[in-house]
Amino acid sequence: MAKAYEPKKLLVEGAEDLRVIPELIEKSGIRWGNNKREAIVSIQDCGGYENINANLISTELQTSELTHLGVIIDADEDLPARWISIRNACLPTIPDIPEEILDTGLIHITKNGIKFGIWIMPDNQMRGMLESFLAYMIRDEGVFGNMLRK
């Protein structure tokens, strides 16, 4: 069976991300879709951070139908080291990728016109992971915290 047309793709470390991200999108008021064909983005579980490498990023960016590629990874214990690592994985294909990640994450237009983004959990500033982000949202009195309490 031929692979479905996927103009927007998100690479994630694992199965937890695959399950949680659609829920977060729905909770923020954006309709996710009722099935994979209707989903606003295709999410790929990469089976661990070590599999989100230069070869994968290069291959994905060469997909002819692709318009958007996102990467969500955990900072774990050392955010600067994780940024350097993912940036180095991107450099062969995206030589003009910025040296620093902003606290709002990275959104970069590649030379081929693909919108490429990186988010380092929990917030592009602190060490942690998806679970840290979720714990922060639950404690936070902000929009996400209030939505999760409903």
Per-residue pLDDT reduced to its tens digit, 40-99: 999 999 999 999 999 999 999 998 899 999 999 998 889 999 999 999 999 999 999 999
| Number of domains comprising the chain | 1
Q: Is residue 53 part of a domain?
A: yes
Query: What integer pLDDT is reported at residue 28 of this predicted model?
Result: 79
Which of the pair, 144 or 22, is modelled with greater confidence? 22
Percent of the chain with pLDDT over 90: 55
Question: Considering the domain boundaries, does residue 1 fall inside one?
Answer: no
* Integer Cα distance of 7 and 60 in angstroms: 11
Q: Flag whether 3 is in a domain.
A: no
Question: For residue 57, which phi and psi values (nearest 5 degrees)?
Answer: -60, -45
Segments forming the whole domain that contains residue 108: 8-149
Q: Is 2 a domain residue? A: no
Q: Look up the pTM and report it.
A: 0.84
| pLDDT at residue 1, rounded to an integer | 37
Burial of 75 (0-12, 13-18, 19+ CB in 10 A): buried
In a domain, 104, yes or no: yes
Cα 26 to its chain centre, rounded Å, is 16
The DSSP H or E segment spanning 98 is: none
CA angle (115 as vertex; 25, 22 as ends), nearest 5: 15
SS3 83: helix
In this structure, is residue 37 part of a structural domain? yes
CATH of the domain at 144: 3.40.470
CA nearest 49: which of 26, 77, 25? 77
Within a domain: residue 41?
yes
